[in-house]
Amino acid sequence: MFRKVTEATAVAILATLAAATPVADTHIHKAVLSRPNVKPFPYNSGRPQPSSPLRTKSCSVTALGGGEDDAPQILDAFHECNNGGTVVLDGNYTIATALDLTFLDGVDVALSGSIAFKPDIDYWLANAFRYDFQSSTAFWKIGGRDVNIYGGGVGVIDGQGQPWWDGFASNSSLLRPISLVIDGLQGGSMTGIRMINSPNWFNLIANSSDILVSDMVLTAKSANSNPVKNSDGWDTYRSDHVVIQNSVIDNTDDCVSFKPNSTNIVVQGLKCNGSHGISVGSLGQYIDQYDIVENVHIYNNTMSNASDAARIKVWPGVHSELEPILSGGGGSGYVKNITYERYESINNDWAIEVNQCYGQSNKTLCELYPSNMTISDIYFIDMWGTTSSKYDPKVGTLVCSSPEQCYNFHAKNVSVTSPKGKSQWDNGEGTV
C-alpha cells in the first residue's frame, strides 16, 4: 500500500509510523531523503542541467515483505505522485513483474531502502522488456521528463545476478536483464545509490538527454566459480548531453561504454576496477545502421586491473561472430572528437587500445573487408601509470583499417610504462 501526503506533513507522519508498533512485514518508515544539490563538476555536457522544481506531495510505499511482488503498488504510487510528487521507497522491496515507468513527469524517487529483482528466470525470459540493440532486456524502465532518483548513499538496487550467471555458465545464449534502463527521459538525475550484482549491464541510458549520474557505487561479485558476465557500469545509446561522475565501479566489463549515437558526453571522477575500460563502442555492428559517437570528454579518472584503460572498438566490414549472442559487422558511421584527459592506469593490460577489427580474429578478413567506421580527432592527454605484464613491454595497441578511416590522433604527456619500464606500442603488425 502507499499513502499520499503533502511535503509539509510527510516527515511528521513518517516519524509517527516509525515510532508505532511494527507491522507484520517489519517495515519501519524512515525520514524522507531530501533531493541532493548535485551539479556536474568540473565539466558539464556543454549546457547546464535543466531546472527541476521542488515537489509538493509524497507517496510512501510499504513493502509487503516475504518476497511478495511490490511492483503493482510501486506502479500505483508513481501514478498517484506523478506531476510534482516524491515516491518514497524506504523498505525492502521485491520486484517480480516487469515495471514500465516511462510515463513520468516531474517526479522524485527517494530510495532509502532496497529494491531486489526476484530471480525468476523463466518469468523474466518471457516478460522482460526487449531492445533490438545487442538483444538487450530489462526488468524495468524509467522515462518521461524531469525525474530525480536519489539514495543518500544508503539506497540499494540488487539485481540478484548469481542465478543468472550460474545459468549463463551452462547456456551462453541466456538473455540476462539490465538492472535499470533509463529510456526516453528528458532531464533527470540518479545519485547516491549502491547497485549490486546486475545479471547483465548495470545501467543503460537510451533515447534520453540532459541526464546527470553522480556519487554511485556499483559492485558485481560472484559467490562461486561461475564468473560475472557483461556487467557494464553504464552504456549510453541514442542519448545526448549526459554526465557520469564521482562514482566507484568494481565489475568485469566496460566501466562506461558509449554505444551508437552517443553525443556530448562527460565522464569524470570515476574509480574503475576490473573492467574492460572506458570504451567507445562497439560500433558498426549492424549493416543497415549509421553509428555516431561524437564530443566525448573523459576527464580525471582512474582505471585499475582492467583489460584496457582507454578503448575504442568498431566492427570490421564483414560479419563476425564474437559470442553466441554478440555478432555483427558492416555498419558505417564515425567516431569523432574523443578526449581522454588526466587518466591514471594501474596494472591494465593496455593503457590505450584502438581496434577497427573488433569481433573478428581473422586478420585477412579484416584487411579484405575494412571497417566502414571512421575514427578521427582522438586526444590522449596527461595519461600516466602502469600496465600489466600481459603484453610487456607494449603498453598500447592501434589496429586501423586504413589511413582514410583512422586519422588525426594526438598524444600529449602520455607516460604509462610496462613492468619492464618501457612504453612500446603495437600497430597490429609490429612494435612502433
Catalytic residues: 276
How far from chain centre, in Å, is Cα 286? 21
Residues 6 or more apart whose CB falls under 8 angstroms from that of 380 comprise 310, 340, 343, 352, 409, 410, 411, 412, 414
Cis peptide leading into 227, omega within 30 of 0?
A: no
Bridge partner residues of 237 (DSSP): 206
Q: Which three cell numbers stand for residue 155?
A: 539506497
**Which secondary-structure segment (H or E) carries 168?**
helix 162-170
Whether 213 and 245 have beta carbons less than 8 Å apart is answered as yes
Place of cell 547546464: 48
**Phi, psi (rounded to 5 degrees) for 128:** -65, 150
Cα–Cα dist 35/19, whole Å: 24
**Phi, psi (rounded to 5 degrees) for 327:** -150, 165
- Look at strands 320-323 and 326-328 and give their pairing: antiparallel
